Amino acid sequence: MKKCNLSSLLDIKSGSVVAVTGCGGKTSIIDLLAKQNKDKKVLVTPATKIFPPRIVDTFVCDTIKSCIQHEPATGVQYFGILNIKNGKLEALPEDIVFKLIPRYDIVLMEADGSRGLPCKGWLDDEPVVYSWSTHTVGVITMSAADKSATGDIVHNLHEFLSLTGLRQGEKITQQALEDMVCLPEGMFRKTAGVEYLIINRVENEVTIHLAENFLKNINGKYPGRFKRMIFGSAYMDVWYEG
């Protein structure tokens, strides 16, 4: 296997507007992509909520006024409305984001929330992927496999059970994870642009084997479903094409 750069695998270039959905490291993926492109004007902003940046050399605007008035510069800029209670940046109005986009080379948007849990079911208004996005990137991990389908593992448990056909407390199977990703009401239920799938937190031989088999099954059942399927680790910044 040949190690690859994540931005290259996702075909990110000037003009890209990337919506990141799913569960299992969305913010880490966005932070990594921002770092990899810091020689450009990069805007990071949530369509829902996002924690402020954990990377250095970033600029944060946390009010609508400061976001509009900020002069774009080479490097990474995080925009949102600061929620003092939870410390997160929340979404700017869509029309304001749309007007800001031409001022930046690359825009990265967190389009989904999962409360840090490895599985999710989606409500009717999720994920929030704007129609003018050029990429929709879905992120999962294999860490929920064989764990019990409970509220400690799954965000929006009722919707997840309805989607996968599991009963509460049953083991989460590979098939359930596949359904979560590929069924029409799953992770890509709202998309725009080209679709990519990332399996994150693949960091040893066991998880590499799981990820390869998972992607092989998707390729067999849903040929051509995604522009590209990728597995690796945001923590280690090591990536492979599946």
Query: Contacts by 100-105 with C-beta closer than 8 Å and gap 24+?
Result: 100/43, 100/67, 100/68, 101/17, 101/43, 101/132, 103/41, 103/43, 103/72, 104/41, 104/42, 104/43, 104/72, 104/77, 105/14, 105/15, 105/37, 105/40, 105/41, 105/42
pLDDT at residue 114, rounded to an integer: 86
What pLDDT sits at residue 146? 92
- According to the model, what pLDDT value does residue 2 have? 63
In-domain check, residue 1: no
Which pLDDT belongs to residue 51? 80
Instruction: Quote the CA–CA distance of 6 and 9 in Å, as a whole number.
Output: 5
Q: Which residue range(s) make up the domain with 145?
A: 6-241
Q: What pLDDT, on a 0 to 100 scale, did the predictor assign at position 183? A: 96
Phi, psi of 232, deg, nearest 5: 165, -150
How far apart are the two ends of the chain, measured CA to CA in Å? 9
Instruction: Tell me the mean pLDDT per 10 residues along the chain, length 242.
Output: 85 97 93 95 93 76 94 94 89 96 97 91 95 98 94 96 96 96 96 98 94 95 96 95 88
- CATH assignment at residue 154: 3.40.50
In a domain, 208, yes or no: yes
Count of domains for the chain = 1
The verdict on residue 41 lying in a domain is: yes
- What's the pTM value of the predicted model, to 2 decimals? 0.94
pLDDT, position 52: 76
**d(Cα 139, Cα 181) in Å, to the nearest integer?**
9
Residues 200 and 30: their CA atoms lie apart, in Å, by 12
DSSP conformational letter for 217: H
Residue 172: predicted pLDDT: 97
